[in-house]
Amino acid sequence: MIIAIDGPAGSGKSTIAKLLAKKLNTEYIDSGAIYRTITLFGIQTFAEGCEGNESRIFELLKDNPETIKISYEDHTQIMWLNNENVSQKIRDPKVTVQVKYIADHQNCRELVNQSIRKTAEKYSVVIDGRDIGTIVFPKTPYKFYLDAKPVIRAERRAKEYSIPLDSPGFEQLVKSINTRDKEDKERKIAPLRKASDALLIDTSGLDIEGVLKEILPHIQPLKS
């Protein structure tokens, strides 16, 4: 079983995907974390970072497939870079700013997609990302597209990072959400969009339980 959950930053994908994976006893694949780990590798390898070095980053990873490893423990995906657990490091804002260069590179995207498809051959999976229902698994019948108003998505991120809503930091967060939406939706390769057969869920007014209630009836029949 492959469950694809796509949507913009802060739409609640990862929270829901993790919970679903636990509930259905499947693995959880965070495709964004793989893009982030490739980005961190680029930042660590090239003084000038990922911009302009995308092809070299791809070649290095292709020739040294052990550089990035992924393990799955208790429905949690752990990212390893040169045998270091970088699951926290990849959340650094420096990575968030540069990930677009990797996400915009066809060969790097193929690298990520191959890794995801290999895992999905072995296990049932819930995968969150931007192009899972459109490009990576267009044939899966289980596709969900989560969305929410940008300001609400920024509020969620602010809560995660303990940023007060009346601070300049919050204004910055709203700007960054809008910039990332634009980058994700206007990208030439694998842009963020809802697959025509995905169920759209606006999570603006829903809590986690509310979102699960919308999703589960579409999946339950499969379990029996």
CB nearer to ligand CDP: pick between 57 and 99: 99
**Closer to ligand CDP by Cβ: residue 100 or 143:** 100
Rounded CA gap, 105 and 109, in Å? 6
Does residue 113 contact residue 136 with C-beta atoms inside 8 Å?
Answer: yes
Q: Which two tokens stand for residue 157?
A: 């991120």
| Helix or strand run (H / E) with residue 182 | helix 168-186
Pairing relationship of beta strands 27-30 and 125-129 according to DSSP bridges: parallel
Residue placing its CB nearer to ligand CDP in the complex, 85 or 220: 85
Q: Which residues bind ligand CDP (CB under 6 A)?
A: 9, 14, 31-33, 35-36, 99-100, 103, 129-132, 180, 184
HEC assignment per residue over 80-141: EECCEECCCHHHCHHHHHHHHHHHCCHHHHHHHHHHHHHHHHHCCEEEEECCHHHHHCCCCC
Note the residue count of the chain: 224
- For ligand CDP, which is the closer residue by CB, 117 or 223? 117
Q: In angstroms, give the least distance from the CB of 124 to ligand CDP.
A: 19
- In the complex, the smallest distance separating the C-beta of residue 120 from ligand CDP, rounded to whole angstroms, is 13
State the nearest-atom distance from the C-beta of 154 to ligand CDP, in Å: 12
Taking a C-beta distance cutoff of 8 angstroms, is the pair 23, 86 a contact? Answer: no
Q: Measured from the CB of residue 169, what is the shortest distance to ligand CDP in angstroms?
A: 16
> Which position's Cβ is nearest ligand CDP?
32
Cβ closer to ligand CDP: 24 or 184? 184
Indicate the residue among 93 and 221 with the shorter CB distance to ligand CDP: 93
Minimum distance between the CB of residue 214 and ligand CDP, rounded to whole angstroms?
20
| Sheet strand arrangement including 76-81 | 68-73, 76-81, 84-85
- Beta strand 76-81 pairing with 84-85: antiparallel
Least separation in angstroms between residue 83's CB and ligand CDP is 22
